[in-house]
Amino acid sequence: MISLVFKSLAGRHYRKFRRKSQVLINRINSLETEYQSLTDEQLQAKTAELKQRHQDGESLDDLLPEAFATVKNGARRLCGNVVDVCGHEQKWEMVHFDVQLMGGIAMHRGYICEMATGEGKTLTATLPLYLNAISGKNCQLATVNDYLARRDSEWMGHLYNFLGLTCGCLQNGMDPTTRRAAYGSDITYGTASEFGFDYLRDNGMATRKEDQVQREHFFCIIDEADSILIDEARTPLIISGPSQEDRQMPFNELKPGIQQLARAQQRLCNELVSDAKKRIDAGDTSDETISKLFLVHEGAPKNKQFMRLMENPAIRKRFEKFDLEMNNDMNKTRRYHLKEELFFVIDEKQHQADLTEKGRNLLHPDEPDAFVLPDLPMMFMEIEANKELDDNGKREAKEAAQKKFEKASEEMHCISQLLRAYCLYEKDTEYVVQDGKVMIVDENTGRLMAGRRWSDGLHAAVEAKEGVKIEKETKTYASVTLQNYFRLYNKLSGMTGTAETEASEFHEIYRADVMVIPTHLPCQRSDINDVVYKSRRAKYNAVIKEVEAAHKKGQPVLVGTASVEASEVLSRMLKRAAIPHSVLNAKFHEQEAEIVSQAGRPGAVTIATNMAGRGTDIKLGEGVKEKGGLYVIGTERHESRRIDRQLRGRCARQGDPGSSKFFVSLEDDLMRLFANQGPLSRILEKSLSDEEELSHSTLNWSIENAQKKIEQRNYSIRKRRLQFDDVLNHQREIIYELRNGAIHSDNPSEIAFEMVEEEIVERLDTVVTPESSKGDADAGEAETFINWVNYHFPVGLKSEELDFSNTDELGKEIVRRIREAFEQRAGLEGEDELKRLARYVVIRSIDRLWQDHLTEMEELNRSVSLRSYGQKDPLNEYKSEAFVYFQEMMENLRNEICTGLFRTATNMQAFQQMLARLQKTATVQGPSDTDESTLAQAARAAQAGQPRPTARKAAPALPKVTIRREIPKIGRNETVKIRKNGEEREMKFKKAEPLLEHEGWELVQEAKR
């Protein structure tokens, strides 16, 4: 009874939307019928009319029926025309169906539309894009690859151009001028990554308005929304450049040891499984025998002999019982001692590999403490307490301790990453090697991810494993996640063939609901039940037989694989069976689309990754409908149900016949790692042979349950990553707003002086604290403040002329004098040049400090997870420390702008003239009988740590050019104390180093770490 109630409620909101939309659809069709009597010129004039009415106050919702009718009628008038699409002539035969009008309405209202493959999503998108482009703002469509962006922009561009709108397209490698022209169009097509990278270049790299290409983020439609907003969202977009630290990690030096370790583990596991098999054949299934299988499972889970043994139902059941017992807290000591018999332990689910004591001894037999990090704080304390060492001796001892710590931590990290590379990352599965480079294979699409690298040294470890050149580590210049980029848009919508299973994620992250649009004609696809085999070998043999049978009767077959390796194995098997076939190379999108589009010819056999050819229709050849249509065979269930649904959706478009069937083996990663083992063991007990296929409702439930587990895990990962990125995103918005202000401002010096004023106010607050009585300034703090101002600005402050009783007025007066000094430069360098100079100072300071901040935030993100062991929430820890880091960055930004305003000039001649004029002005304003200015004495005294000398007569001068100082070797995370002009600061050395090298600070002492 309850199930009937739930079924009656399911899809209720979809039906409600469809009923409401039908009223609009009827109105659109009625208007379109009227428009058929108009001339082409009259129809085209509708665009200008709608634009004017919108400017006069009519909303886009009010204009929707007329706009949609205009687009539909425009498509009708193009019918029969031959149009050029990517160099191929194509006949236009498209007019919007009612379901496409419904999809257009949904996308205009911000829904993610689920429309079946072949329902015309490309044409549907023209409706909301045209309507929203009437506003005069740039509207965008983001898709998955360059070929689809170009194809759709050229194809649908004929319709836009006919109606009087312009359409642009972004392609990888375009120059900025062409990109700006594409964004200048009413409608712009491009890949999601191109839009994201343009955002980063505009806001994090451009230094002039002319360098920025994007317009407002108004309205965007995401094509293949699930692929872009969910699958690709796990990888952030990063613009990087060469790192300042030109030092290679010792991967190649450590590689021989890891190779020896991997071989030793392989030999050990082979011996264990062989011994276990002999015992089992002799009828021994004791705990001692099964424990050997347990060790093989922990040390080499993909061992072929072990996987063959797991096909025996009795052994599998006995092993699962033993594994369950070992996971009990009562047996954790025994489990630990068992694992210590291995060299390392592999965790496939978490993608981790950990050394045991046996493995550590193999790598460093003579160094028992090789994998123990030195206690650096304790070592520093012992060095400080050593009375026999002088200051230089202590410094050298600390340097040696720091080097020892860095070497040990670096070596441990490299060993960990090399171990993962050898044990968990397989060639032709997770990556391929092309042209001497390691290329990551997208686990969801099977496509190569050019330019992408695994983080934290893992990519370099894989490069070392494969013997290719190890690329230098890079530094992040700008980064953003796709989630946070697309949340910039005022209105976001999408379209895809599979969205309903991820409806909760779309709503929670993007505030977009899913709307399922019905098909134009009833779906004729037959989804045959999955068949499950014991082994992968038996599964592939069954697939070949199925392909051969379909090929003989002339039915086209599309075989979907989950990896490059699987497609190559099937290709070799088909060659042995003398079956002609095509193997899709996913590197070239245009070739990919062409191959997939031909997959519907009679008798055609195409092997492709599960997501290949997405966005391309497979049209059936002559006589194929009578033979059952396209037959889609899946050789493995994917981690996500969406990918399986996408593969099924390759057939049976627009009412065509078709069928789909999945072949699964118990050796597939999904079944090994995530399927419920209990039901599988019970079903295996009833099987008789390897070649026998299993088909059972419990198996279907087990497979779907495994997919749900992974989907939930991946969603948790994406959500957690977004929570961390939201912290950085808030900081990014502040920095980009400040940076864009400097770029677009007619007077960027105002931004610089705002920062100067903030810095002076902050420093004045340290001179007169709220606790002190009015006008009671701390003498030492006042002297430090005066020295700091005189060192940074040529204003010649004197203590006797300053009234600290009113810090607000004093701050304004100091800023006024700084402004006057800066404005004097206009006559020497020109007003426009001075504006460019101020802009340069602000942008350069922001860029340098923001890039350093991104590096620090990456390190914080990696390290903060360890705090969960101390019962602390890593996210809260990250938020609190990120706030402190950002405060420090803003303080350094203000200080750097103060330093740069009078230390930068457009040319040396202008700098010298400015210096002479300021010196002359200062002399005229006040008598002087000394050759050396008070400011110069103050700067010199401050650097020497002495009180600022007083003089009756002063002439301010610009500070001297910063001198690069020799700095002793100090650990990056060691806390140091630095001083300049009487001001002292305490900070980590990695933050102090640029101040010591470039800004005249000097090292006072090394504080406690």
962 is in an annotated binding site: no
Closest CA to 553 of 603, 595, 592: 603
Q: Which one has a higher pLDDT value, 804 or 283?
A: 283
Pairing of strands 448-449, 82-85: unpaired
- Number of domains composing the chain: 6
Checking if the pLDDT of 920 tops 60, the result is no
Which residues make Cβ contacts (< 8 Å) with residue 405, sequence separation at least 6?
Answer: 373, 374, 376, 971
pLDDT digits (tens, 9 = 90+) for 4-17: 444 444 566 788 99
User: Could you give the angle at the alpha carbon of 503 between the alpha carbons of 499 and 505, nearest 5°?
Assistant: 110
Task: Read off the pLDDT of each residue in 889-914 and give the average, rounded to a whole number.
Answer: 80
CATH number at residue 236: 3.40.50.300
Whether residue 263 is found in the same domain as residue 214? no
Taking phi first (over 0 means left), then psi (-120 to 50 degrees means alpha), and beta for anything else, what does residue 575 get?
Answer: alpha
Strand partners, 527: 660
pLDDT digits (tens, 9 = 90+) for 126-172: 999 999 999 999 999 999 888 899 999 999 999 999 999 999 999 98
Checking if the pLDDT of 214 tops 90, the result is yes
Question: What is the residue whose two structure tokens read 């401002």?
Answer: 745
What pLDDT, on the 0 to 100 scale, is given for residue 473? Answer: 73
Checking if the pLDDT of 1 tops 50, the result is no
pLDDT digits (tens, 9 = 90+) for 569-597: 999 999 999 999 988 865 555 567 677 77
What pLDDT, on the 0 to 100 scale, is given for residue 770? Answer: 58
Residue 776 pLDDT level (bands cut at 50, 70, 90): low
Whether residue 417 is found in the same domain as residue 299? yes
617 is in an annotated binding site: yes
Is residue 6 assigned to a domain?
no
pLDDT digits (tens, 9 = 90+) for 480-492: 999 999 999 999 9
Checking if the pLDDT of 33 tops 60, the result is yes
What pLDDT, on the 0 to 100 scale, is given for residue 232? Answer: 82
What pLDDT, on the 0 to 100 scale, is given for residue 1001? Answer: 75
- Six token digits for residue 216: 């407002």
Least confident stretch, 27-36, 337-346, 794-803, 994-1003: 994-1003
Q: Give yes or no for a contact between 574 and 624, defined as CB atoms under 8 angstroms apart.
A: no
DSSP tag of 1006: E
Whether residue 399 is found in the same domain as residue 298? yes
What pLDDT, on the 0 to 100 scale, is given for residue 443? Answer: 73
- From the DSSP assignment, how many helices (H) and strands (E) are in the chain? 38, 26
Least confident stretch, 295-299, 878-882, 974-978: 974-978
pLDDT digits (tens, 9 = 90+) for 732-769: 999 999 999 999 998 898 999 999 999 998 888 888 76
Closest CA to 497 of 652, 661, 703, 702: 652
Residue 39 pLDDT level (bands cut at 50, 70, 90): very high
Q: Give yes or no for a contact between 499 and 514, defined as CB atoms under 8 angstroms apart.
A: yes
pLDDT digits (tens, 9 = 90+) for 57-82: 999 999 999 999 999 999 999 999 99
CATH number at residue 858: 1.10.3060.10
Checking if the pLDDT of 393 tops 50, the result is yes
d(CA 250, CA 411): 7
Percent above pLDDT 70 for the chain: 85
What pLDDT, on the 0 to 100 scale, is given for residue 956? Answer: 36
Taking phi first (over 0 means left), then psi (-120 to 50 degrees means alpha), and beta for anything else, what does residue 603 get?
Answer: left
Is residue 308 assigned to a domain?
yes
CB burial of residue 825 (10 Å; 0-12, 13-18, 19+): buried
Checking if the pLDDT of 960 tops 50, the result is no
Q: Which one has a higher pLDDT value, 234 or 741?
A: 741
Specify the 3-state DSSP secondary structure of 199. Answer: helix
Threshold 0.85, pTM exceeds? no
Task: Read off the pLDDT of each residue in 803-819 and give the average, rounded to a whole number.
Answer: 86
Checking if the pLDDT of 948 tops 60, the result is no
774 is in an annotated binding site: no
Least confident stretch, 50-64, 236-250, 556-570, 964-978: 964-978
Is residue 894 assigned to a domain?
yes
Is residue 923 assigned to a domain?
no
d(CA 825, CA 837): 11
Please list the alpha-helical segments (H only) found in 238-331.
Answer: 251-281, 287-299, 304-309, 313-326
Residue 922 pLDDT level (bands cut at 50, 70, 90): very low
- Residue type for 516, please? V
What pLDDT, on the 0 to 100 scale, is given for residue 802? Answer: 81
Is residue 917 assigned to a domain?
no
Residue 967 pLDDT level (bands cut at 50, 70, 90): low
* Residue 861 belongs to domain spanning: 725-904
Whether residue 24 is found in the same domain as residue 147? yes
DSSP H or E run through 704: helix 697-744
Closest CA to 308 of 323, 293, 322: 293
d(CA 808, CA 895): 20
Checking if the pLDDT of 505 tops 80, the result is yes
Average pLDDT over the chain reads 84
What pLDDT, on the 0 to 100 scale, is given for residue 695? Answer: 73
Task: Read off the pLDDT of each residue in 501-518 and give the average, rounded to a whole number.
Answer: 92
Residue 779 pLDDT level (bands cut at 50, 70, 90): confident
121 is in an annotated binding site: yes
d(CA 798, CA 815): 15
DSSP H or E run through 352: strand 352-355
Is residue 958 assigned to a domain?
no
Whether residue 306 is found in the same domain as residue 231? no
**Sign for the pseudo-dihedral over CA of 394, 994, 204, 879:** positive
Whether residue 224 is found in the same domain as residue 287? no
Angle, helices 126-133/98-108, rounded to nearest 10 degrees: 50
- Six token digits for residue 848: 């340098």
Whether residue 746 is found in the same domain as residue 868? yes
Is residue 246 assigned to a domain?
no
Whether residue 336 is found in the same domain as residue 374? yes
Closest CA to 397 of 382, 409, 410, 375: 382
Is residue 116 assigned to a domain?
yes
Task: Read off the pLDDT of each residue in 360-369 and give the average, rounded to a whole number.
Answer: 87
Whether residue 979 is found in the same domain as residue 855? no
Whether residue 272 is found in the same domain as residue 390? yes
Strand partners, 778: none
What pLDDT, on the 0 to 100 scale, is given for residue 998? Answer: 59
What pLDDT, on the 0 to 100 scale, is given for residue 568? Answer: 85
DSSP tag of 231: I
Residue 951 pLDDT level (bands cut at 50, 70, 90): very low
Q: Give yes or no for a contact between 471 and 504, defined as CB atoms under 8 angstroms apart.
A: no
Neighbouring CB atoms inside 10 A of 176's CB total: 15
Whether residue 397 is found in the same domain as residue 266? yes
Task: Read off the pLDDT of each residue in 380-386 and give the average, rounded to a whole number.
Answer: 88
Closest CA to 245 of 473, 431, 21: 473
**Sign for the pseudo-dihedral over CA of 80, 84, 87, 93:** negative
Q: Give yes or no for a contact between 845 and 894, defined as CB atoms under 8 angstroms apart.
A: no
What pLDDT, on the 0 to 100 scale, is given for residue 943? Answer: 38
Of 650, 677, 695, the residue that ends a domain is 695
Q: What is the number of residues in the chain?
A: 1009
Task: Read off the pLDDT of each residue in 426-432 and give the average, rounded to a whole number.
Answer: 86
Q: Which one has a higher pLDDT value, 935 or 392?
A: 392
Q: Which one has a higher pLDDT value, 697 or 903?
A: 903
Of 904, 932, 954, the residue that ends a domain is 904
- Six token digits for residue 500: 């309903």
d(CA 605, CA 534): 26
Whether residue 500 is found in the same domain as residue 542? no
118 is in an annotated binding site: yes
